Every structure is written in structure tokens, then in C-alpha cells.
Copies of this chain bind each other. A is one copy, B any other.
Amino acid sequence: MSTIKVAIVGATGETGSSIEITALARPESLHKLANAELKTRGVKVMPADLNGPQEKLVGLLAGIDVVISAIFFGSLADEIPLANAAKIAGVKRFVQSAFMVVTPPRGVVDFREKKEDILNHIQKIRLPYTYIDAGWWYQLTLPRLPSGRLDHALPSTQPEQVIGADGLVPSALVDIRDVGRYVAKIVADPRTLNKRVHVYNEVFTRNEVYDLVEELSGEKLERKYITEEEIMSRIEEARSDLQVDPTSLQALGALTTYQLLHSWGIRGDNTPEYAAYLGYLDGKELYPDFKYTRFEDYVKAALDGAAKGVYQIRK
């Protein structure tokens, strides 16, 4: 097949950095360390102001086959001008940002509704698209060990570690390092055009995760279970904090964290079965030979000190 020209918007975030190609960056972040790193890997980094003049954006996207957005989940509305420009430029496939757990399109996770709004806009302007959800990251899945042995692999701002309901709720997991390879397959695949696609590596309950980490580490974990009522009250708390200060990233983070936990940890939305019900194509059926990192191997590497975490403040 001929070369596919891909533009990635927001390539230096956690998701974007696992995909390779041409990067559109906010002018003010052009000189970020991560963009310099992209350049050393041969990626063309171009300045792009998503809220600037449309014709400039159209010009940047001319000749691009696939646009992959990996912008911050708090700025998803910026995808509207990006999609409009992509439509005019004749882009052949648009991929929205925030690959994540499967949730209902509306009514459970606020920012998921924003994604659906943007998808509905894409559909209104008839821009070819692929909508991708890609599992809950291994890198956000490890429990903290009493010895601190896994701390190097945990996010810097690690939220309180709690287990939804009885710990028996299954959830689809992925290694973030596999996401880019899944996306590369998906955007080159005619079967996924104008479809929703669900990719993931393995399905685990929280109890199974804890059991596995205990078995492989030889340490005993404390298990703190949280009820649906308790999660709902934290969601309400975060929502009222956000009403007081709509710009509070902390309140937005708390709201999103607990709404996502409600979805994957209590309701059990993040499963291949629910994705199928919602009409997603299944990555296991599309790419049965895809080689991915097994969760057990990720845990072993983390215990050996060889896992890289996400959302870590660079020292």
C-alpha cells in the first residue's frame, strides 16, 4: 500500500507519544522538550493554532490522509475547528482524541458526552472518521505495594487506590505502548472507516489484578472497596467544586476520575461485550495476530523496576 500521510495534533501527551508521524503543535508548545524529542525521531513538527484562521489550518492539512487528535481531554472542543478544516482539506480519516475505556455515550461520564458531541458534529459535516476506544492503561492499573517497590511505575499524582464494589467487575486493559501500534493498524484499515473500534489487550477484574500482584511480589495488599453510593457522592462533590470554579483542573480531574471509576469499576461498561452491544468493531477479531504485552509480563517488568509510568512529573 502507498504511504499514508498522518498528522497528529497534540503529539506530546501520553497517548500521542505512542504514535509516530507528523505533529501539529500549539505555537506556544513548539519549543517543549517533547517536541524537540519528536524532531530527533524524524517527525516534522508544525505550529498550528486550532482556534486561528481556518484557511491556515486547511493549508496545513492539505495532502494529509489521516488526522489523529491527541489533544488534552479538557480542550476537546478545539476539535470542532480542526474537524471543519479537515473536511475542507479533504482529509480521508479523522480520529478524535481521548482513546479510553468504553462507556455509555451519555449519562455516566461528562467528558465522554463531549466526545460524542464532537462525533455528532463530525457526522453532521460528513467527515470520514474512526472512533477508537483503547482500554484502561496497565500504567494506571498497578496497586501500590507496601514496600514501595512499584512506586516508580505509578503516576506522580496517584489518586487514592480503591476497588469498585466487590472487585469482581471485569475491565479491558491495554499497555499504553501498544496503543500506537493498534492505532497505526486501525487507520490503515478500510474495514474501520466510519466505525467505532475497541482495542484492548486483556480483561481483568480488580481482584484478579490484586491477586496477581500479590502472587508475583510475595507481598500482601490492603484492599479498600468503595460502594456505588460513595463514588456518587464524590462525583457530586467534584461537580459542585467545579461549579464554584469552572477552571479548576483539580476538580475536573476528580470528577473525571470518579466518573470513569463508576463506569469501569462498578457498572462494568469497559468490556468487549458492552462494546459489541454499542456497535464497536472488536480489535481481537480485526487483528487476531496482534502481538501485545500481557499484563502479567508488565507486572513482572514493573517489579523488576523496568516499567515506565505515565503522568509522571519529569525530574
Contact = CB atoms under 8 A, between A and B. Distances in A.
A108 B123 contact: no
Interface stretch (A33-41, A69-77, A143-151, A273-281): A273-281
A194 B116 CA distance: 18
Nearest to A128: B277
Nearest to A103: B124
Contacts of A108: 124
A277 B121 contact: no
Contact of A106 (B107, B124, B278): B124
Nearest to A278: B123
A126 interface: yes
A277 B107 contact: no
A111 to B, nearest CB: 15
A279 B279 contact: yes
A195 interface: yes
Interface string A144-167: 000000000000000000000000
Chain A interface: which size bin? 10 to 19
A148 to B, nearest CB: 40
A105 interface: yes
A105 B276 CA distance: 20
Given A195-B279, A277-B194, A279-B279, A107 B126 contact: no
A47 interface: no
A243 interface: no
A178 B100 CA distance: 42
Contacts of A106: 117, 120-121, 124
A104 interface: yes
A123 B104 CA distance: 6
Interface in A73-118: 104-108, 116-117
Nearest to A120: B106
A277 B276 CA distance: 18
Nearest to A195: B279
The list of the 9 closest CB pairs from A to B, nearest first, reads A106-B120, A104-B124, A107-B124, A105-B120, A194-B277, A104-B123, A123-B278, A105-B123, A279-B279
10 contacts: A104-B123, A106-B121, A107-B120, A116-B120, A123-B277, A123-B278, A126-B274, A126-B277, A194-B277, A194-B278
